[in-house]
A and B are shown apart, each in its own frame.
Chain A
């Protein structure tokens, strides 16, 4: 079966040596660096989930190209049920990892490309869909971890790609050859490419005629010379580097969502791996298809999974401090559930209301309105959830001592004495440390911007809402005549 195990994935990664930097130092071995190891562990866990019989329906569909069982992260949705299971996978992986399913963006790029390449081939007689399907079959047969890269550095936001002083601010084609293209530029805020076998690259947004050099989509192996990964660096990176044991950390195995800036220094892509080159007309549509899929999964499922963890930990924290019957604590927990499950409901609706897009392609896309609402709701709601979790956890969520203090023979007894509440100090400190990972961590801003910042969803809703229909409904009932 092509569905690989975690061990097989890790074995395959050992042979890969992409050019990765963390805090100015090149990572010689990703399995030895604590930051990159957390990405590999998380990706490995996603492989493992596909072998758990409890999750087979969610994680292992049949390929529409070969009929073989595959990991859902390489699946193209062909029905509303497929969309629902895709969202369920996002929920499950978030619940089990507490961080990014690093194969998620790659999955959504493949789905968007499946729709758009079909459409381009129909209009232009190109071979993009054939190439894409060949790539997907190859990826499925080898169960490759595919990440996705979309966001350009952008430079001066008031200027179009073609107006930038430095044209490299948006990834572009700098040379076309008989055997392929050469690209230059960068993609930022990219999740998990360092632990992936391949990265699928899309244009960063809609483009106009005259901007053909920026209209490019392709897949490339992550060890291709010319690519450099510059990892994010935060206090959580420093904490993980300094930890004597991962048990000191809030999310010990899988950590925070790790991203990198990917630099493409005149990188060669053979034509077989190019899925769009110069077709500016289709860039906006392609990115919009990616966005609506990713917003359903990210906003309505992934962050709901995180919320499940936060709610569970908050409930534990209230029990460990003896406050579980206090009414305002119970109300806060209920509100956390309300916010989270509202977004979850939107994801379910986005899947249920999804349609074949474009008609005839066989590719199913989520409902645009519900996908955007899922993300917009959770973008605001996640801060509220964390606020309430911080309230329930108490000030200790940011003032707590280290677990190393607990182990110190001189001061450990003080920690055990003074942090004991309705539960032993060790348990209380552990759950507060877990909540610190969220409340004082990176996920608020990550949720805000992931799958597009809220303003992008607002713009989408402005266009997706039938304002005239709503006005007419009001006029009809209010007997307003024009």
Chain B
């Protein structure tokens, strides 16, 4: 982990598609902001197509999202990467330990 972030209280999020996985980090509350956006506002941050987010559910530390259309894993990651950046998150080193999970698929 970059020493620039030592002393910063952070949270780490694993984003999983059916085949791929990436890690993200942000201030504590980044996951809650994403979860609130998807479940209460029914909006994927950074995107404004009304029908993009088909389904969003949240159980404890896991957020499960379904996006509209047949998307590749790379496309799914692109959408969630943009969404997390729009709520203040950034990519984290792959070896980061992440308690919080965003699972995304499409249909």
Contact = CB atoms under 8 A, between A and B. Distances in A.
Contacts of A137: 7-8
Given A65-B7, A268-B32, A16 B85 contact: yes
Contact of B88 (A221, A226, A271): A221
A224 B45 contact: yes
B20 interface: no
Contact of A17 (B41, B47, B88): B47
A16 B5 CA distance: 22
B66 interface: no
Given A141-B4, A270-B28, A17 B33 contact: no
B81 interface: yes
Contacts of B10: 138
Nearest to B11: A272
Given A2-B4, A141-B8, A223-B87, A179 B32 contact: yes
A134 interface: yes
Nearest to B2: A141
A68 to B, nearest CB: 7
Contacts, number: 91
A267 to B, nearest CB: 9
Given A135-B27, A138-B27, A17 B32 contact: no
Interface string A230-273: 00000000000000000000000000000000000010111111
A268 B37 contact: yes
Interface residues of A, number: 35
Contacts of B85: 12, 15-16, 223
Contacts of A269: 29, 33
A15 B82 contact: yes
Given A17-B46, A17-B47, A180 B86 contact: no
Contacts of B87: 221, 223-224
Interface in A192-243: 197-198, 220-226
Contacts of B45: 223-225
Interface in B54-107: 81-82, 85-88, 90
Sort A-B residue pairs by CB-CB distance and give the 9 closest, nearest first: A270-B29, A223-B86, A221-B88, A225-B43, A268-B36, A141-B4, A17-B46, A272-B29, A225-B37
B29 A273 contact: yes
Nearest to A17: B46
A17 B28 contact: no
30 contacts: A12-B85, A15-B81, A15-B85, A16-B85, A17-B47, A65-B7, A134-B9, A138-B5, A138-B8, A138-B10, A138-B27, A141-B4, A141-B5, A180-B33, A221-B86, A223-B45, A223-B46, A223-B85, A224-B88, A225-B37, A225-B43, A225-B45, A226-B43, A266-B41, A268-B33, A270-B29, A270-B30, A270-B32, A271-B29, A273-B29
A87 to B, nearest CB: 28
A65 B85 CA distance: 25
B42 to A, nearest CB: 9
Contact of A273 (B8, B27, B48): B27
Given A16-B85, A17-B86, A198-B88, A272 B28 contact: yes
Contacts of B86: 15-18, 221-224
B59 to A, nearest CB: 15
Contacts of A179: 29, 32, 36
A221 B33 contact: yes
A426 to B, nearest CB: 44
Given A15-B85, A16-B46, 6 more contacts: A65-B7, A134-B9, A138-B10, A226-B43, A273-B27, A273-B29
Contacts of A462: none
A66 B6 CA distance: 9
A408 interface: no
B5 to A, nearest CB: 5
A26 interface: yes
B41 A226 contact: yes
Contacts of A17: 46-47, 82, 86
B37 A224 contact: yes
Nearest to B29: A270
Contacts of A273: 27, 29
A449 interface: no
Contacts of A66: 4, 7
B99 to A, nearest CB: 15
Nearest to A266: B41
Nearest to B25: A138
Contacts of B33: 180, 221, 224, 268-270
A223 B43 CA distance: 11
A141 B41 CA distance: 30
A30 to B, nearest CB: 12
Residue among B5, B7, B27, B47 with max Cβ neighbours from chain A (10 Å): B27
A431 B27 CA distance: 47
B88 A197 contact: yes
A223 B88 CA distance: 8
Interface in A131-186: 134-135, 137-138, 141-142, 179-180
